Chains A and B, each alone.
Chain A
Amino acid sequence: MNIVIEHAQDLPIIVLSGRLDTATAPGFDAEMAPFLAEPHPRILLDLAGVTYISSAGLRSVLHLVKHTAAHGGRLGLVATPPHLLEVIEISGFPALLDLYPDRESALNGTAP
């Protein structure tokens, strides 16, 4: 798993690649801790390079959802690969966050 935090138009974009599972989610949470010490009402999570996500990974995503909600905003998922959508839908996450097909629509704030 690889994590890079980029910024575009003052918006943080977490670019994740690889597997987010029981083995790697704790490392992701640890890496996010200093970032989440600052308030971020809106965060984008770019999932284009993610091959697999399990419930442990979705727990990590839920931390981001709760952080943005606590600051009056929402998390945006960008470029979610189609095979990940089934678990995201089963989890009821689409009601908690915004799904964008690509960065451009996320940054333009185009309604998902």
Chain B
Amino acid sequence: MIRLRPETIHGPMTQPVQSPLRLRPELTELDHVVGYIETFADQHGLNSGDTYALTLAAEELFANTVNHSKPPATLVEFSLAYSGDTAIATYADDAQPYDPTQQAAPDTSLPAEMRPIGGLGVHFIRKTMEVFQYARQDGRNIVTFTRRLKR
């Protein structure tokens, strides 16, 4: 996996196209995340596979915040930016420190009866994104993930 320094990711060539999305950590807010990504996809002509992967990654992080953050987060921020041929997503919440990049990979070779009912979300992000990294800054969990766009 490629590791980028924050200054590389948020360099001068990176233009955010929409202001960051601010969300209450409630499942009813998921529609806003989907809408935000679809708007970005329309503006930049993303193909359906790239749009799908970005939506999936954002949803998995948002679902983690909603279902597992303790004490519950009060605010989530999400933004997408575009740089060269890469989409750069930043996801932040104000919950207790939690680094999803350290979550163990699930065993996807187990038979049906032994398959655990969970743990796939972060696995998807790892498999579909080039960069997937975590930082704790100013009392917030900040997850950055990037995808090279195919067009």
Chain A contact residues, CB within 8 Å of chain B:
21-23, 52, 54-56, 58-59, 62-63, 65-66, 69-70, 83, 86-87, 90-92, 95-96
Contacts and interface: CB of A to CB of B under 8 A. Distances in A.
Contacts of A91: 108, 120, 123
A90 B123 contact: yes
A86 B113 CA distance: 23
A63 B49 CA distance: 26
Main secondary structure of the interface of B (DSSP, over half): helix
A63 B53 CA distance: 24
Contacts of A69: 111-113
Contacts, number: 73
| Residue of A52, A54, A86, A96 most packed against chain B (CB within 10 A) | A54
Contacts of B69: none
Contacts of B70: none
Interface in B60-114: 60, 62-63, 66, 108-113
Contacts of B124: 54-55, 87, 90
A56 B127 CA distance: 17
Contacts of A87: 56, 124
